[in-house]
Structure formats: C-alpha cells, structure tokens
Amino acid sequence: MSRPAVCLVSGAAGFIGSRLAVKLCESGHAVIGVDSFSDFYPRWIKERNLAGLRTRPGFEFIEADLNDLDLTALVGRVEVVFHLAAQAGVRTSWGRSFSVYLRDNIQATQGLLEAAKGAPGLRRFVYASSSSVYGMSPDLPASEDSPCHPLSPYGVSKLSAEQLCFLYHMNYGVPTTALRFFTVYGPGQRPDMAFHKFFRLLAEDKPVPIFGDGRQTRDFTFVDDIVAANLACLERGRPGEVYNIGGGHRETLRDLLPLFEEITGVTPRLEPLERQKGDVPHTFADIRKARADLGYVPRTALRDGLVGEWEWIRDLYSLS
C-alpha cells in the first residue's frame, strides 16, 4: 500500500497499539484509535502512552468499548484494521472472569469482522493473535502448521478469534491476516508482564517471584519488531494466513537473572512460587514463513531491548 491509508487501531492506548499508531502517523497514514481503558491495569499508564499521539495531525481518538460502537460506520471509514484490543492475561482468565474474555476477545472480534464483510474500501484486516494458541503443542520451534492445544482460557479465546478471522475470509472474502505474537517486551510493557515486574521489584529491592523452577523458556520479542511486522502487512502478507512473529531465539527465565543484575546493578532475591495453571513450559517461534512473506526479521538484541525497557521503567516511576 504505497499511498497513505486510513487505519483503525483498536487497543490504541495499549502497549503495542500505541507504538503502532505512532509509527503509522510518522509514515503519513491517518489513524483512528479506539480504546476502552479497561481496568486491567492503571489508566494513567495508558494515558501516558497516548500523550504524544493526541496532538498528532491525522490522529483521532475514540474512547469506547468495541461492543458498544457502530462498527459498520467505523470500519466503513477505514482501509486497514489493526485489531489489537483484547482482554490480556493467562492467569486471570479462569472462572467467572472468562465472561470478560468471551466479550472482549471473541465477541468484539466477531463484531469487527461482521462490519468488515460489508466494507468495500477495506484492504487489510490484521488480527493480533498470540503464541498462547499453541499451548502444549509438541513442536519446538512451533510452525504455523503445528497443532494448537491452548492451555488456558485466554489461549482458547485468542484461537477462537483467529479462527473467526479465517472463516470470514473464506466465506466473505475479508482480507484477514493473523499475527501470532511471542512474549512481547520493551518500553510500554504492561505492569502484569514479567520483565516490567522484575525491573520494578529490583528497583524497590524486593524479592522477584519465579514460578516453578524458572527453567521455562520463552521466545522474547521486542515491541518494535512486533510493530514492524504489523506495518509489513500494509504491503505484504497473504489474506487468510497466519504468521509467527517471534524474536528468533529462546531464553530460560532463570538464566536471564544475571542480565537483569548487570542492567540494574541489583542482585535479584528470588521468591519461588508454584507453577501457575495455564503457563506453558516453553515457547519458540519458527519465523521462516513471516520472513518469506512479510520480509520480517527481528532486529533488536535482547540486551538492548531490556536496557530500553529499564530506562522506560525508571522514567515511568521516577526512579533514581
């Protein structure tokens, strides 16, 4: 898409959505951002994410729940949908709270897709999926053809929404593409996510919780690499397909502790906790398909990304 487009970014006040909206504006695209400011984490952090966007030419912000909007009218205004809004959290998706995941992750996605099927000007619909869809898949690294066995209700909700995208593509020709993000980190990371918690606890000289034996591995992906993959979908990628977006390597959580000590100057004191239901032991992305179709190459080294997040954490909480 060589010319500037009008883009909808759902979840525009969030970790990834806000950085994507900035990059789109910098590239000359017009952006309509939508966010409901759900109470999963403090509003002031999301407002901070939006601070530089609100005054940008070409950026319009709508504070609303997708389930309450006239989505037909909204999607009819845009050429590209980047759907990042979702209820996050693997460990909080059990029990009665699953109704929130049904509403925010499945129902909201289905509503957007219904609106998209009748939008003649829509050229791309990019859905933010998750490595959680793989769950206990036996393949490492996991390819897009690997079995999906989610281990949490959250993973089930993301896979269900991803399958809805495929159904609307096959039946109505909606140009959907799903990107499966693997453990995103970097400046702006949510407070419930591991690296954000680690850095803040180290700064406060408090124990760092480690679930299980700490030998779990994750494919950590820097947020700007995730944003680059989304931007690549403006020009590339095949409708109806899914793509793994990972960092291209995996690390053991416990083995990262010396790196946290080096960056912060604080020796971590560990607080062992029981393994949490829904936590998968390992994630690792096979990114060959994204490399071939999207030109995706993760460019940020883990240490560099962690330094950037630490600097952001210090500024966020006014740490010395």
Q: For residue range 104-145, list pLDDT tens digits in order.
A: 999 999 999 999 999 999 999 999 999 999 999 999 999 999
Low-confidence spans in the chain with pLDDT less than 70: 1-2, 320
Structure confidence at residue 134 (pLDDT)? 98
CA distance 195 to 306: 8
Cα angle 15, 19, 21 (rounded to 5 degrees) comes to 120
Q: Report pLDDT digits (tens) over 202-243.
A: 999 999 998 888 889 999 999 999 999 999 999 998 999 999
* Alpha carbons 118 and 226: distance in angstroms, whole number: 29
The answer to whether residue 154 is catalytic is yes
**Location of structure tokens 């079995």:** 147
With 0-12 / 13-18 / 19 or more C-beta atoms within 10 angstroms meaning exposed / middle / buried, residue 39 is: exposed
Return the pLDDT at 81: 98
In terms of C-beta density within 10 A (0-12 exposed, 13-18 middle, 19 or more buried), how is residue 148 classed? buried
Task: Write the CB contacts of 44 (distance below 8 Å, at least 6 apart in sequence).
Answer: none
Given this model, what pLDDT does residue 4 score? Answer: 92
Say how many CA atoms lie within 13 Å of 151 toward its Cβ: 17
Burial of 184 (0-12, 13-18, 19+ CB in 10 A): buried
Rounded Cα distance between 86 and 161, Å, is 10
Question: The whole model's pTM is what?
Answer: 0.97
List Cβ neighbours of 301 (8 Å cut-off, separation of 6 or more): none
Give the pLDDT confidence score for residue 143 in this predicted structure: 98
Beta bridge partner(s), residue 272: 210
Q: Which domains does the chain have, with CATH numbers?
A: 6-185+222-247+284-298 (3.40.50.720)
Alpha-carbon span 197 to 199, nearest angstrom? 6
Per-residue CA distances from 132 to 18, 51, 123, 141 (Å): 22, 31, 27, 14
- How many residues in total does the chain contain? 320
| C-alpha to C-alpha distance for 250 and 120, rounded to whole angstroms | 42
Choosing from 101, 127, 134, 154, the catalytic residue is 154
Predicted confidence at residue 276, as pLDDT, reads 79
pLDDT at 2: 64
> What DSSP character marks residue 193?
S
C-alpha–C-alpha distance, residues 154 and 142, integer Å: 19
DSSP codes of every residue in 230-250: HHHTTT---TT-EEEE--SS-
Place of tokens 């897009």: 144
